[in-house]
Structure 1
């Protein structure tokens, strides 16, 4: 087949699928934003940068932004068709940024497949979940409805969709959920694996190694959506109870989800100001965003790994930590419960219960008698259902090839 991937940050969720399809004899091309600097496993072409949208209409601005990107992607697609004669059999795109909105008008005969990452919901998900920082309000729900418009349009137009977890697929209403097949992106269990010799040198020169009393926390950005504020509030009690413990936090100072705290500050500054001298900052290490190898070494050597999240998109870091055989203390929220079973392959605590989180972290750092069993079960969970080569990639390939017009 001729297959076109469309993703503003390609390869995005498709670093393994795209080259695997090439290896199976398909002609594969990717259409991406001209500013995308990621290396690509397949040939790429670019569409022009979307213009900045200026609008006084708050509710309509989100759709306008995504529709503008969709327009640029469609113009790039039209050039592919008219100037180069490219006509795909299958288009695979991420619907989150609106890039697939107008592709039906360019190639009406192509099968349109989308990556359906999450549907925004006004109840039962992230909206109103954290009353301290984002209390539920009618206005917030209005905004959520408006932000869902391009996602609904994207999946309505699609022939089929894929989602990485049941929780994310089930965020879509039933009439749209039936289009979605659940296949996880896949974890390289040979790369994310236990390593008793793992070591990491911190920016201050201190070397950490497996067996040390290390508590790890990882997030793309240090922010409330990933429980950063709850984790920080748990630390004073943890540090007091475990005087040898070292805490390492990986993540940027910006915001990936939700909102910044305002006044030009970031969430790290806010939490450090709140906790003041209750934190021993000689033992709390903010290392920013780090290369993959350093991140994995931290997960491998940590005695306890903490993962917290709102009811939202599940992080790759959780599945990779499980694959690496981490002892995990996580939030008892819907997306986490899909993978972690309390007392079987990890420990779960209520998201907002700071004393319970402190207690669970202390228990793990001190030495949970069941730690090795939990670590082994966490890795086995990933190997049994989320392994890239054994489960995810073969299923993804079969899903795509099921739309081959010659089958």
Structure 2
């Protein structure tokens, strides 16, 4: 088959799937934004998107659709050129619906089957919007804005042949009529590579080396921000460090914003660090920023306890990777986390806002590693049995994509 991947930051979620399909003899190509500098495992075409500035006063609640559909138009025009100039017609298109890129591809290639990655459908209630009152009390305007943000997501799936979501909860955010179109298959964790390693070590910027077996608390996210509970974690640190004088804290993540609003000034990392700076020992709290994958892997392999917090939102790969590495994971008790992490079985769940509860759970896990060994082993088994890349997820993903192709 001819398979086209569409993602403005390709390979994104398709890092392992694209080369696996190509290895099976399919002709795989990708279409991505010209500003995307990530290396690609397959040949890539690029479109140049130079959007006009959107006037919020003029577009009002339609501004998100305006932004996303403008990118969709750019993508469709690039696709039309591929058809007209090169005669390219894919059998299957697999694209992320989040940025509008897939909206009009069926108008260019009506004969192709379109599979959209349906990662999350915004909700006015019951998910991330209004979840954390610290950053503004929930109000009806937020509800309407959130619903307005779903216009392109609903259109993308309605015009597709099939949808794909990584978790049951993320699929459940879609309305029932659209949910019926969605298959749930996680992207997959390579549990052969992400595995416990008693010889693992991590050298910190200050030259100190931490090793497996040391008393290490880890916290990882793409960016350090409220959506991923950075503020709650930092507020828990003073009590944890006071109770565990030998503990070292390793924090991985950038200081930009992935989700939600930016702070009025500066960045979230410094804002919440400043809040507790005089209550913690800076020599024991190590901010590594964003790190290469081998360093990330080593951090999880030396971790005695891994804290994962999130709003009810997209589940981070890092939580499942931490479980695969054999971490004792303490996670926030919200639906996307509780789908994977079961309290007292393969980890510990704590109410997102309960700072004292986080104190107690993290201190207990740091203090008694042997008592938590069964939970660590169960965490790894969970990922191996349900989310393993090569044995479970990748075969299911390949089967789904191939099922959409033309029959011999």
Please tell me the TM-score bracket, short chain as reference.
Answer: over 0.9
**Residue 307 of structure 2: SS of its match in structure 1?**
strand
**Residue 211 of structure 1: SS of its match in structure 2?**
coil
Match of 1:54 in 2: 54
- TM superposition shift of 1:272: 2.2
Residues 110-130 of structure 1, C-alpha deviations (whole Å, 9 max, x = no match):
111100000000111001110
- How many Å separate the matches in 1 of 2:138 and 2:158? 28
Match of 2:386 in 1: 385
- How many Å separate the matches in 1 of 2:211 and 2:24? 42
- How many Å separate the matches in 1 of 2:188 and 2:73? 31
The equivalences for 1:96-115 within 5 A come to 96-115=98-117
Aligned residues of 1:3 and 1:89 also touching (Cα < 8 A): yes
Match of 1:259 in 2: 261
- TM superposition shift of 1:142: 1.4
Q: Which moved more, 1:390-399 or 1:133-142?
A: 133-142
- How many Å separate the matches in 2 of 1:209 and 1:122? 45
Residues 58-77 of structure 1, C-alpha deviations (whole Å, 9 max, x = no match):
31211111111111110110
- Structure 1 unaligned spans of 5+: none
Aligned residues of 1:127 and 1:134 also touching (Cα < 8 A): no
- TM superposition shift of 1:331: 0.6
Match of 1:244 in 2: 246
**Residue 317 of structure 1: SS of its match in structure 2?**
helix
Q: Which moved more, 1:313-322 or 1:17-26?
A: 17-26
**Residue 28 of structure 1: SS of its match in structure 2?**
strand
Q: Which moved more, 1:44-53 or 1:9-18?
A: 44-53
Are 1:231 and 2:233 counterparts? Answer: yes
The equivalences for 1:80-159 within 5 A come to 80-159=82-161
Aligned residues of 1:53 and 1:64 also touching (Cα < 8 A): no
Match of 2:44 in 1: 44
Match of 1:30 in 2: 30
- How many Å separate the matches in 1 of 2:91 and 2:126? 38
- TM superposition shift of 1:2: 1.2
- TM superposition shift of 1:369: 4.2
Task: Return the match for 1:170 from 166, 169, 172.
Answer: 172
- How many aligned positions are there? 406
- How many Å separate the matches in 2 of 1:221 and 1:87? 38
Aligned residues of 1:323 and 1:383 also touching (Cα < 8 A): yes
Match of 2:336 in 1: 335
Aligned residues of 1:215 and 1:302 also touching (Cα < 8 A): yes
Residues 43-101 of structure 1, C-alpha deviations (whole Å, 9 max, x = no match):
11111123243213331211111111111110110011000000111111000000001
Aligned residues of 1:13 and 1:185 also touching (Cα < 8 A): yes
- How many Å separate the matches in 1 of 2:17 and 2:269? 36
- How many Å separate the matches in 2 of 1:75 and 1:370? 59
Aligned residues of 2:54 and 2:67 also touching (Cα < 8 A): no
Aligned residues of 1:161 and 1:180 also touching (Cα < 8 A): yes
Q: Following superposition, which runs of at least 4 residues in structure 1 exceed 4 angstroms of deviation?
A: none
Are 1:15 and 2:27 counterparts? Answer: no
- TM superposition shift of 1:199: 0.6
Match of 1:314 in 2: 315
Residues 138-196 of structure 1, C-alpha deviations (whole Å, 9 max, x = no match):
11111101111110110111110110000111110111000000000011011100001
Task: Return the match for 1:75 from 74, 77, 82.
Answer: 77
Match of 2:194 in 1: 192
Are 1:219 and 2:247 counterparts? Answer: no
Aligned residues of 1:303 and 1:327 also touching (Cα < 8 A): yes
**TM-score normalised according to structure 2 size:** 0.98
Residues 302-338 of structure 1, C-alpha deviations (whole Å, 9 max, x = no match):
1111001100000000010011111111111100001
**TM-score normalised according to structure 1 size:** 0.98
Aligned residues of 2:5 and 2:94 also touching (Cα < 8 A): yes
- Structure 2 unaligned spans of 5+: none
Match of 1:3 in 2: 3
- How many Å separate the matches in 2 of 1:159 and 1:169? 16
**Residue 99 of structure 1: SS of its match in structure 2?**
coil
Residues 13-70 of structure 1, C-alpha deviations (whole Å, 9 max, x = no match):
1111111111111111111111111111111111112324321333121111111111
- TM superposition shift of 1:368: 4.3
**Residue 119 of structure 2: SS of its match in structure 1?**
coil
Task: Return the match for 2:163 from 161, 164, 189.
Answer: 161
- How many Å separate the matches in 2 of 1:144 and 1:92? 26
- How many Å separate the matches in 2 of 1:190 and 1:149? 40
Residues 334-385 of structure 1, C-alpha deviations (whole Å, 9 max, x = no match):
0000110111100111110000100000001111443110111000001101
Aligned residues of 2:54 and 2:66 also touching (Cα < 8 A): no
**Residue 283 of structure 2: SS of its match in structure 1?**
coil
Match of 1:324 in 2: 325
Aligned residues of 1:50 and 1:68 also touching (Cα < 8 A): no
